[in-house]
Chain A
C-alpha cells in the first residue's frame, strides 16, 4: 500500500448524506466518531470493506433522535407564512362581514350557475359519442338541388351502403337504417296483451358496427333473418318478466309497415341516455323492402347510411370522391353526397343551401357564454370590493414591504385569499347545485347528475381559475404600492383606481342590460309563436293515429264519432301535419312555363272534411267533397303556389304528375302555416287521399275531457288490438318550439341570477362609498346641505356609471337578439320600448340597491360622525 492512512477518505456521497441528515449540533462529534471507526477498520480490513462498513454505519445512524427535523428551519418559514396568510384572510372575512357575504353569495351563485351550465354543455357534447368507433363513424348526407336552392337530407337511397363499401376502399364497414319517416312504431301483441314499441329497420350488421350492447344472443345473427328481431332489455322485462324468457318467443305485429310474426333472437341494452336515437326493437331492413320496393331502389330515399372509414382517411378527399357518386347510379344528377361525423350530427344538424350553418351547437355556445358572463360578473364583484377596501389594507402592505416582504409574496397572499374564497364558494355552490339539480333537469329536460369524481379536475380548475381571475387585479394593484408613500399616508393615484372600478361596474351592468333585452325578446317571440294566426284552427283539436295493417275507409269510424255529442267534426290525412315533411316534385303545368320536374312542393295528402275541421279558408273554388266524388286527381293550391306557378285563373288548371296522372285544381286555400314558424310559407299542393291514418277530431270547447274519453272508447271498439294515443294539436304545436322554450326558461333564470349578482356588487360598493364619505357628508350637512342634496350627491356617480353601461349595452343587445331572431322565418319586430324598458329597469334596480345605503348615510348626525377620529 502506497497510501498513508490519512489519504484514504470515507466514501464521499456517504459523508455528504451524513452531513445532510445529522442534527447540526451533533455533527462534529458523530463525524469524528465515524472517521475514527473508519480508520480503525482500515487497519483491520481492506479499503473496500472499510468503505462498505462506513456506508452501513451511515445508514444505521438514521435514528429519529439523531436526524434533524425534515426540511429544517428554512421551510418552517414558508409554513409560518402560509399560516399567517390564512389567519389574516380569515380575520379579514370576519371583520368585513358584509363584503365577505356579498362575495360569497355572488361567487357561489355564479359558480353554481356555471356548474349547471357546464353539466348541461358536457351532456350535449357527449350525445352519440359512446360508439366504440366514434372517431371513424360517419353519416352519409345528400345535398339535393331543387327550386334554385339546395336542400340537405340526412337520408339516402337504401342501396348506397353496400355500394359505397364495394366501390370505395376507404369504407371499412357500412350499414343502412330506415330513416325517420320509415320507422316501425306501433303495438306488438304477445298472447293477447299489447305493448307499445318504437323500432328501427336496420342492416344485418347493425349491432356489430354501432355500439348498442347485445346482452343475450349473437350480435352477428341478431337480425340476420327477416323474421327475427332484437328487443331491448326493458321491453323484454315488461313483456316476459326477464331477458332470458324472451329469447325464442314470438311477437305478433300488425301494422301498415310491418305485418307478421317475429321470433326474438337477441336482447340488447337500451340505448344510453346520451343517444340521439332511442328504440326498443330492431328489425331487418328487408322487412321494409318487402312492404315498399322503393326502399331498395336507387331512386328512393328510405335509408340513413352510416359508414366506418379507415383510420387516417382524409375526409375532404373522401367527400370529393363521393360527391358525384349518385349521378352514376341514379337517373338524377341533382345529388351531391358528403359525410359528416355521426356524433356531430346532433349538434351540427342544420343546413342552409347545402352548407352547414349550425344547429343545437348555437344553444351550447349561447349558454357557454352566459355561464362565463355570470361568473365574470361575480368575479368583478370581488375585484371591486377588494380594491375599494384597499385603503384598509394599505398599512398591512406597507409594513410588510418595509420589513422585507417581496412583491411576489404579497401577490401570492392576495391570490391565496381569493382562491380560498373561491373554494368556500365552491363548497356552497355544490350544495346549491345538488339542491337545484332536480329543478334544473325539469327545466332543461335532461337527467343530469353531479358526479364530483368525474369532474374533479375541471371543477378544481374552475375554482383555481376563478380565484386567480377574481384576485388578479387586487393582487397586482395592492402589492404595487410604495411602502414609504403608504406609511406617510399618501394614497397611490386614486383617480385611475376609481376609473377601473367604474369600468368594471359598467361591464357588469352592460351584461345585465343585454340579458334583460334578450329575455324580453325571447319571451316575446315565444308568445308570438303561440299567438300568431297560423291560418288554421288548432284549439280543441284532438289528434291521434290509427295503426292498423291495412288502409281502410275511415268513414264508419267517423260516423261513429259524429254520434258523440262533443264532437264537431272529424277528418284524416296521410303522414303528419305539424312535421310538414311531405314534399313532392315532378309536377308540370301549362307546358313550357317552367322547367319540368325542378319544382318541389309541400304536399300534404288529406281526406274529406280536413279543410273544414281545421278551419282552413277557401278563397276560390271548393273544398274536397263527397258530392263531386273527389279522387287522387283533385288538388287544392295555396296562394303561394298560385303565385309561384304564375296562374291567373287557377281553378280548372290541369297539372301533370309523373307520366300517367293529370290532376285538376278545384280550389285555392288561403296561405296557412304548414309546420313551425321556423319555415316560410311555401307553395303547397293539397292532394286528396281517402284513407290517411292521422285523425283529427274537433271538440266542443268546454267538455273536452268527457269527449276525449268517448272518442277513445269508440276508437278501441272499432280498432281492436290498438292502443289509443291521442294528443291535442295545440300541445303538439307548442312542442315544435321545444328547444326555444327551454332556451327561454333557462335564460330567464340565468338573467335573474346575473342581475342579482350585479346588484349585490353595487350594494357593496354603495355601502363602502357611503362609509368612506361620512365625514364629507357631515361637513356638508353642517354647512347647510339638505338631505336631498346629499342623496343626489351620492346617487349621481352611480347613476352616471349605470347610464353609460346602458348606452353601451343597447346596440350590443340589438345585435344579439336580431341574430337569434334570424332562426325564425316569422319573427316579432324588435321594438324600441324593449330597450327603453331594459335600460329603465336596470336603472331602477340600481337606484333601489343604492338607495338604502344612501338614505342611511344622508340621515347621519353630523356631530356623531365628525366627533370620532
Chain B
C-alpha cells in the first residue's frame, strides 16, 4: 500500500476507466461517473486526475480516432496498467478484510 498514492476520487476515475475499456476517454468517463455518483463533475477535475495517474504510472493512453462531434479533435483513450489492476485489487482486499472484521451492527 505504501508506494501507491491513490486518492479517493482518483480511485473512482481509475475504476471507471477499467469499466469503460475501449471507450475510456475524458468526456465518457465524466458521463459514466456523473451518472453513477449522481452529481456534476467538471472536465478539469477528471482531466487533472487522469494526468496525475498517468504520471504515477496507473494509466497509459493513446490517441483514438477523430470524430465529428469534437470539432475534429482526437480523443485520448486511457487504459489501466497491470500495476493499477494490482493496486485496485490490493485496495479491495484491504477493504473487504476491514468489512469482515467490523461488528455486525454496522454491517446491516
Binding site for B on A (CB under 8 A): 26, 28-37, 39-40, 56-57, 60-63, 65-66
Contact = CB atoms under 8 A, between A and B. Distances in A.
A32 B69 CA distance: 9
Interface stretch (B3-11, B16-24, B37-45): B37-45
Nearest to A34: B43
Contacts of B48: 63, 65-66
A30 B46 CA distance: 10
A104 B70 CA distance: 65
A36 B55 CA distance: 25
A34 B70 CA distance: 8
B76 A35 contact: no
16 contacts: A26-B47, A26-B51, A29-B63, A29-B73, A30-B43, A31-B71, A31-B73, A32-B74, A33-B25, A34-B43, A35-B71, A37-B27, A37-B43, A60-B42, A63-B47, A66-B48
* Residue of A32, A35, A40 with highest tally of chain B CB at under 10 A: A32
A32 B73 contact: yes
Contacts of A32: 26, 70-71, 73-75
Given A35-B71, A36-B70, A65-B52, 19 more contacts: A26-B47, A29-B25, A29-B74, A29-B75, A29-B76, A30-B43, A31-B71, A32-B70, A32-B75, A33-B26, A33-B27, A37-B43, A56-B42, A63-B44, A63-B45, A63-B47, A65-B55, A66-B47, A66-B51
B26, B44, B73, B75: which has the most chain A beta carbons within 10 Å?
Answer: B44
A261 B3 CA distance: 94
Contacts of A30: 26, 43, 47
Nearest to A54: B43
Contact of A60 (B27, B43, B69, B76): B43
A33 B71 contact: no
A35 B70 contact: yes
Contacts of B55: 65
B27 to A, nearest CB: 5
Nearest to A9: B71
A39 B27 CA distance: 11
Among B47, B48, B55, B74, residue most surrounded by chain A Cβ atoms (within 10 Å): B47
A40 B35 CA distance: 14
Nearest to A40: B27
A25 B42 CA distance: 20
A35 B44 CA distance: 13
Contact of B73 (A35, A40, A61): A35
Nearest to A63: B48
- The secondary structure that dominates the A interface is helix
A33 B25 CA distance: 9
Q: In this complex, which of A29, A35, A62 has the most chain B Cβ atoms within 10 angstroms of its Cβ?
A: A29
A54 to B, nearest CB: 10
Contact of B47 (A28, A33, A40): A33
A28 B45 CA distance: 17
Contacts of B73: 28-29, 31-32, 35
A68 to B, nearest CB: 12
B71 A61 contact: no
A597 B30 CA distance: 112
Contact of A36 (B52, B69, B76): B69
A36 B63 CA distance: 16
Nearest to B52: A65
Contacts of A33: 25-27, 30, 43, 47, 70
Contacts of B42: 56-57, 60-61
Contacts of A39: 69
Interface in B49-66: 51-52, 55, 63
B106 to A, nearest CB: 36
For B43, B45, B69, the residue with the greatest tally of chain A CB atoms inside 10 Å of its CB is B43
The 10 lowest CB-CB distance pairs between A and B, nearest first, are: A32-B73, A60-B44, A32-B70, A33-B26, A61-B44, A60-B42, A63-B48, A29-B76, A36-B27, A35-B71
B84 to A, nearest CB: 18
Given A29-B76, A33-B26, A61 B70 contact: no
A61 B27 contact: no
Q: Which among B45, B52, B70 has the greatest number of chain A C-beta atoms within 10 A?
A: B70
B45 to A, nearest CB: 7
Contacts of B45: 60, 63
A850 B43 CA distance: 76
A36 B66 CA distance: 12
Contact of A29 (B26, B30, B52, B69): B26
Contacts of A60: 42-45
Contacts of B70: 32-33, 35-36
A38 to B, nearest CB: 9
B40 to A, nearest CB: 9
A587 B63 CA distance: 116
A145 to B, nearest CB: 90
A66 to B, nearest CB: 6
Contacts of B30: 33, 37
Interface in B73-105: 73-76
A62 B45 CA distance: 10
Contacts of B75: 29, 32
Contacts of A31: 71, 73
Central interface residue in A28, A36, A61, A66, by most chain B CB within 10 Å: A36
Contact of A62 (B27, B44, B69, B74): B44
Contacts of A35: 69-71, 73
B43 A61 contact: yes
Contacts of A29: 25-26, 47, 63, 73-76
Contacts of B44: 57, 60-63, 66
A61 B47 CA distance: 8
Contacts of B51: 26, 65-66
A65 B47 CA distance: 9
Q: Max chain B CB contacts within 10 Å: which of A31, A57, A60? A: A60
Contacts of A56: 42
A65 B27 CA distance: 18
A226 B21 CA distance: 106
Contacts of A62: 44
A552 B94 CA distance: 116
A32 B51 CA distance: 16
Nearest to A65: B51
Contacts of B74: 28-29, 32
Contacts of B47: 26, 29-30, 33, 61, 63, 66
